[in-house]
Structure 1
Amino acid sequence: MISKRTALRLIFLLWICLITSSFLQAAPQISYTVSMDEPHTHYFDVQMKVSGYKKQYIDFKMPVWTPGSYLIREYARNVEAFSAKNSKGQALKWEKVNKNTWRVSSNSADEITVNYKVYAFEISVRTPFLDASHGYIQPAAVFMFVKELMATPATVTIKPYKEWNQISTGLSAAATDKFVLKSPNYDVLVDSPIEVGTHKIMEFTVQNIPHRVAMYGEGNYDEKRLLADMKTIVEEVTGIFGEIPYEHYTFIVHNLQSGGGGLEHLNSTTLQTGRWNYGSEAGYSGFLSLVAHEYFHLYNVKRIRPKALGPFDYENENYTTLLWVSEGITSYYDDYLLRRVGLSSPDEYLYTATGNIGTIENAPGNKVQSAAESSFDTWIKYYRPNENSNNTSISYYTKGAILGMLLDLEILNNTQGQKSFDDVLRLLYNEYFKKQKRGFTEAEMQAAVEKVAGKSLNDFFQKYVYGTEPIDYNQYLGYVGLKLINAGEGKNEPYLGANTSNTNGKLMVTSVMRGTTAYESGLNVNDEILAIDNYRVNDDLNRIMATKKVGDKINILINRAGILQTLETVVLKNPNISYRMQRVANATPQQEALLAKWLHM
């Protein structure tokens, strides 16, 4: 016989075991398997297995966009051959309940396996791609999710095609098999593209942390020089923040016939460039600027982020007015970083900055759309430009880069060179990412800049960020002994203001700039220009216009939808300004000191 006390103890232990067993059985598990047996067909075969999640039905969803690229891309459009079964291999009923949701009648089965195919043949950093040479998995477009299980860890098994022996990703291996990966949750999975094939892998270390460069395709790069320069950029960026917030980092580089662009991720990035761009200094510098931009994003947007950008809603737009910070400030730093580490000269950087100013100031849309509005409307405008976009909108990348430069100069001047925009970034990183573990609001971002600058900047934000008032560039450039001038001052050049293309021997209008001769005459996109003042026009439009004078009356003969029309108008002056940045005469010692500080001379 056992004592009553011992019996109670046994009952208690049995109860604990039952509870523990019940808990363990209830913990959901998720796994994915991706195969690519026929890469020439451009189909990824995906299997998703969910166990320990007993429901009458389970909704399997495909994201409609991917973080960092703010456009609804409808990834579900490339999904086909969906099916579902239970652990016994029995087929389960399912139905499509909306554009990106497959509802499976699971009948409380302990394990559900769904299979589907993803067509992947669009070359971009935002979309998956598969052909006979390699596979690129853009996770948001390949992996489905169950909304209630997004915090559940997952394993990802990649089954590469035949002799493909390389895999590169920000995810870590789950075990000794490098093709079996692990993700702590769905957000990290979406933020970790995967390159599979026979690509070359190069590596450098910073603070004993590996940085891998996965090179798909041939390129005329100098491996030693490229790795050294990429390392220099990484060291400069991490030096701003004082720490490296990852255990390893992966650069996936696609060397293509043409094209370019990049997309940032938590501890990786995908970069695309022309395979022969490395051979010219301009092309090489452009690639390094792209490297700097996407790498800088690992802090600015992946960790220092607007409140709206996380946790993400993968089924709807995530609106924010702060992309001029996330993308624009990053655009300021991508070229500025090259100057800071000596990969470009002071004059080269100033030339780039002047080009940014010209791009914005010569766009009629600069008088229509603010930087904040451009950010908010990116979902419907930035990625969907039309022939009138230049008249109605601006890029938050370019306008944000300008605003970042001006704020940096304001901080430098008001703190006598003791602080810079670096300090704003550190404040945001430490306060909101590390301490409060959240994104920041518009007011908090402005407050951070003002705290570092030591003054109110409300006028700056109201006029230039939320408004469209003309910027007094020379106020800020004057702090460092520079001034912006109109290199074409006094010129009275005639200007049509229409872009054209020669299509099958026809000179077709492709866009018309507001406030120009073409705009005021009523010239339309898709008009065919036949003659000016009875002289036939072919590819000599600009030459003919150069013979005119501002104020001249001209007749433009056009073909509009098969009807010949004559537009009578007056030639207007070219409204575009050719900007040049130069030093002021007799700069003060303070101006010289701040210029040297700013440009790291």
Structure 2
Amino acid sequence: MTAQLVYKISPSSLSEHLFSVSINVPSSESQSLHFSLPAWIPGSYMIRDFARNIHQISAKDENGAELSIVQTDKQSWEVINERKAVQVDYLVYAFDLSVRGAYLFDEYAFFNGTSTFLEVKEMSNRPISLSITNNQVDQNWRIACSFASVAEHENDEETVYEYLCEDYQELIDHPVLLGQFEQHTFEVGKTKFHLVLSGSTQTDIEKICLDLRPLCEHHMTMFDGFPEEEYWFITLLTEDGFGGLEHRASTALMYPRFHLPMKQDFKDTSYDDWRSADYQRFLSLCSHELFHTWHVKRNKPEVMISPDLSQEAYMEQLWIYEGFTSLYDDLSMARSKLITHERYAQILAENLTRLIRTQGRHSQTVTESSFNAWTKFYKQDAGSHNHIVSYYNKGAIVALLLDITLRDLSAGKYCLDNVMQILWRDYGSKNIGTHDHVIHDICKAHFDIDISAFLDIAIYSTIDLPYSQMLSSIGLKLHYRSRSGLKDLGGTPADKVALSGFGASYQDKDSGVILQSVQDGSPASRAGLQIGDILIAIDKWQVSSTTLQSILDSYASDINTAAENSMVTLTYLRQGRLIHSSMRVEAAILDTVYFSIEDASKFERWIQ
């Protein structure tokens, strides 16, 4: 029988945010052992350099004698062990409040294995025994994770939880929450689902689970079952954080605590009629990450079957994986009747508005966006919207229009659901990675449809697709308008909209507004304004975030007859210098969309 590696982890200091970790490596034929920590975590495509948080690393042999441990690069160490058993000890600084890292404070401890557990390179495929020590039992700390439990040992001062993993890849694919939390469990078929909310609030966790159930049922019906016996929605409640990261049998979520329904919210309100936009967003997040259980954790590009976590893994298929999932997260809510068809049409319009407002869609294809996720999408700055497009956002729109195209070309016989089921059957369930033209091949081999004409434009060009024409086939009429204000997301008509264009986002700053982004080719850009400028006045009028648009609109009599020949003087500060420039007043661009449902029965048939 192959000897196991033994990993142990426990909170070392809550105030200093330190975990204590030890690894016991059995004797072997290796003269030296190499230890390494991942540089990134699957599902989040950016080099994170988690090893920067490892401190006081040491090694000793089976007799307790100290061994030399030498760092060989930013995330790797070597120990000369001469075939002997070795114990490596180190501390992990855990103060990254995100779904990707590790975080330890007075309320809970949260960690991903990619942030905490060194890999023993010579023994990556060895079985692993994991012990997690809860030394905060007096603070009512408990554990939530998707590891298969082996044993639990308790005494007055601490509890030790023991788990077994097949190998290192499994060890790092189960996030752990150790602390104070609320939990509710429900079953769908033979699968148990657990919703965990960190801390202690008056959140109505049972009613949230009532809404999660039909989402789970929808996904399980599409893929004909669930690949795990249990699944955990591990949710870190924060003041204003947001995020989600998929794992094989769980997801780590982050969400604002007061955006969820509270128990008192339902005293005088019918629950079926009460789902705020903020709460809908949480359900959509849960839907998105759960969908990844099949579509990312099992269906995945070839390069992600055995990824090298020490460096980037380039791929052009993220539009398939994040884009398709971004369509189904909200679509499944409409199918499950958690939102109305009218609300879903609004969400679709908001997503299309995001795309239309992204100047970078004319500069970068969605496959290029996928490939360059590591450097461009995950490292955005204030000017990125001019140069890149989101593979989430555009990928979802492409998925929507791909579905419409398949239905049209097959006279309603095939749709995107069939593509998803084939991906799961032929690739994900068999642990076979997908190639770049997998969608082309599925449509040709299984539907006898050549989808190249559509995809050549949709994913390999920067040409806008005929949204209005294509969406009319599912009963929606597309309307364009200008923005009504800085917080206008689109999706609905507006009584009052901007008459004059500006082309920059901004917020109040001192005696004016500070520019946060400037759109290429806009009036603001042509007037010479830059990110970081503090605009003080337009002509003789001081501006603020609430008055800037009104001042510009005063130069236009209506939306169609803006005073095109009018010039205004801009007064602004740039790094302490006072500057004046002129800007031509132009009509506001129509970059905001909403839908009217022209054929309700057709739209309903498409949704279902």
- Give the TM-score taking structure 2 as reference length: 0.89
Give the 5 Å matches for 1:52-201: 52-109=27-84, 111-163=85-137, 164-175=140-151, 177=153, 179-201=161-183
Superposed CA deviations along residues 539-594 of structure 1, whole A, max 9, x for unmatched, are 4322221222333112212222233222123223322422122244xx6xxxx765
Give the 5 Å matches for 1:448-597: 448-451=442-445, 453-487=447-481, 493-539=499-545, 540-548=547-555, 549-584=563-598, 594-597=602-605
* Identity fraction in percent: 28
Mapped partners of 2:338, 2:447: distance in 1: 28
Greater mean deviation of Cα atoms: 472-481 or 173-182: 173-182
Superposed CA deviations along residues 512-564 of structure 1, whole A, max 9, x for unmatched, are 11121111111111222232224333443222212223331122122222332
Alpha-carbon offset, residue 348 of structure 1 = 0.6
Query: Are the structure 2 counterparts of residues 400 and 288 from structure 1 closer, same or farther at C-alpha, using a change threshold of 3 Å?
Result: same
Mapped partners of 1:452, 1:391: distance in 2: 39
Secondary structure of 1:463 counterpart: helix
Mapped partners of 1:137, 1:538: distance in 2: 43
The one-letter code sitting in structure 2 at the alignment partner of 1:364 is: Q
> Which among 271, 277, 281 is matched to residue 282 of structure 1?
277
Query: Are the structure 2 counterparts of residues 179 and 505 from structure 1 closer, same or farther at C-alpha, using a change threshold of 3 Å?
Result: farther
Say if 2:482 and 2:590, in contact at 8 Å, map to a contact too: no
The one-letter code sitting in structure 1 at the alignment partner of 2:58 is: S
Give the 5 Å matches for 1:306-325: 306-325=301-320
Correspondence for 1:48: 23
Query: Are the structure 2 counterparts of residues 159 and 457 from structure 1 closer, same or farther at C-alpha, using a change threshold of 3 Å?
Result: same
**Within the alignment, does 1:241 sit opposite 2:230 as a pair?**
no
Query: Are the structure 2 counterparts of residues 595 and 543 from structure 1 closer, same or farther at C-alpha, using a change threshold of 3 Å?
Result: closer
Correspondence for 1:255: 237
Alpha-carbon offset, residue 220 of structure 1 = 4.2
Correspondence for 1:221: 203
Mapped partners of 1:370, 1:170: distance in 2: 37
> Which among 323, 327, 330 is matched to residue 332 of structure 1?
327
The one-letter code sitting in structure 1 at the alignment partner of 2:209 is: L
Query: Are the structure 2 counterparts of residues 482 and 530 from structure 1 closer, same or farther at C-alpha, using a change threshold of 3 Å?
Result: closer
**Within the alignment, does 1:599 sit opposite 2:604 as a pair?**
no
> Which among 280, 287, 293 is matched to residue 288 of structure 2?
293
Correspondence for 2:487: none
Say if 2:294 and 2:428, in contact at 8 Å, map to a contact too: no
Structure 2 unaligned spans of 5+: 154-159, 262-274, 484-496, 556-562
Say if 2:242 and 2:255, in contact at 8 Å, map to a contact too: yes
Mapped partners of 2:482, 2:550: distance in 1: 19
The one-letter code sitting in structure 1 at the alignment partner of 2:532 is: N
Query: Are the structure 2 counterparts of residues 220 and 273 from structure 1 closer, same or farther at C-alpha, using a change threshold of 3 Å?
Result: farther
Greater mean deviation of Cα atoms: 472-481 or 459-468: 472-481
Mapped partners of 2:578, 2:257: distance in 1: 46
Superposed CA deviations along residues 179-205 of structure 1, whole A, max 9, x for unmatched, are 101111111111110111232221111
Secondary structure of 2:524 counterpart: helix
Superposed CA deviations along residues 325-370 of structure 1, whole A, max 9, x for unmatched, are 1111101000000000110111111110011111101211111111
Say if 2:184 and 2:206, in contact at 8 Å, map to a contact too: no
Mapped partners of 1:502, 1:378: distance in 2: 32
Superposed CA deviations along residues 110-165 of structure 1, whole A, max 9, x for unmatched, are x1110111111121101111111111111100001022322111011001123155
Say if 2:190 and 2:229, in contact at 8 Å, map to a contact too: no
Say if 2:359 and 2:520, in contact at 8 Å, map to a contact too: yes
Secondary structure of 1:417 counterpart: coil
Mapped partners of 1:582, 1:34: distance in 2: 55
Query: Are the structure 2 counterparts of residues 521 and 219 from structure 1 closer, same or farther at C-alpha, using a change threshold of 3 Å?
Result: same
The one-letter code sitting in structure 2 at the alignment partner of 1:268 is: S
Query: Are the structure 2 counterparts of residues 133 and 550 from structure 1 closer, same or farther at C-alpha, using a change threshold of 3 Å?
Result: same
Say if 1:414 and 1:454, in contact at 8 Å, map to a contact too: no
Is the helix fraction higher in 1 or 2?
A: 1
Mapped partners of 1:46, 1:34: distance in 2: 5
Greater mean deviation of Cα atoms: 387-396 or 50-59: 50-59
Secondary structure of 1:418 counterpart: coil
Query: Are the structure 2 counterparts of residues 593 and 503 from structure 1 closer, same or farther at C-alpha, using a change threshold of 3 Å?
Result: closer
The one-letter code sitting in structure 2 at the alignment partner of 1:126 is: R
Mapped partners of 2:389, 2:219: distance in 1: 28
Mapped partners of 1:176, 1:568: distance in 2: 72
Secondary structure of 1:107 counterpart: coil
Say if 1:220 and 1:277, in contact at 8 Å, map to a contact too: no
Greater mean deviation of Cα atoms: 372-381 or 519-528: 519-528
Alpha-carbon offset, residue 507 of structure 1 = 2.7
Query: Are the structure 2 counterparts of residues 420 and 83 from structure 1 closer, same or farther at C-alpha, using a change threshold of 3 Å?
Result: same
Mapped partners of 1:211, 1:455: distance in 2: 38
Say if 2:180 and 2:199, in contact at 8 Å, map to a contact too: no
Mapped partners of 2:544, 2:233: distance in 1: 47
Say if 1:219 and 1:276, in contact at 8 Å, map to a contact too: no
Mapped partners of 1:79, 1:504: distance in 2: 42
Give the 5 Å matches for 1:336-355: 336-355=331-350
The one-letter code sitting in structure 2 at the alignment partner of 1:552 is: S
Correspondence for 2:406: 411
Query: Are the structure 2 counterparts of residues 503 and 593 from structure 1 closer, same or farther at C-alpha, using a change threshold of 3 Å?
Result: closer
Superposed CA deviations along residues 426-458 of structure 1, whole A, max 9, x for unmatched, are 1011111234x3111011232214445542111
Mapped partners of 1:492, 1:198: distance in 2: 48
Correspondence for 1:424: 419
Runs ≥4 residues deviating over 6 A = none
Alpha-carbon offset, residue 56 of structure 1 = 2.6
The one-letter code sitting in structure 1 at the alignment partner of 2:190 is: N
Alpha-carbon offset, residue 420 of structure 1 = 2.0
The one-letter code sitting in structure 2 at the alignment partner of 1:509 is: L
Say if 2:241 and 2:256, in contact at 8 Å, map to a contact too: yes
Alpha-carbon offset, residue 74 of structure 1 = 0.5
Superposed CA deviations along residues 187-226 of structure 1, whole A, max 9, x for unmatched, are 1111110111232221111222221222212344323321
Alpha-carbon offset, residue 176 of structure 1 = 5.2
> Which among 370, 376, 382 is matched to residue 375 of structure 1?
370
Mapped partners of 1:213, 1:444: distance in 2: 34
- Give the TM-score taking structure 1 as reference length: 0.90
Alpha-carbon offset, residue 97 of structure 1 = 0.9
The one-letter code sitting in structure 2 at the alignment partner of 1:247 is: E
Correspondence for 2:264: none
Superposed CA deviations along residues 256-313 of structure 1, whole A, max 9, x for unmatched, are 2221111110011111111111236212211111110000000111111111222111
Secondary structure of 1:40 counterpart: coil
The one-letter code sitting in structure 1 at the alignment partner of 2:459 is: V
Mapped partners of 1:492, 1:382: distance in 2: 30
Mapped partners of 1:225, 1:562: distance in 2: 54
Mapped partners of 1:353, 1:231: distance in 2: 23
Say if 2:27 and 2:83, in contact at 8 Å, map to a contact too: no
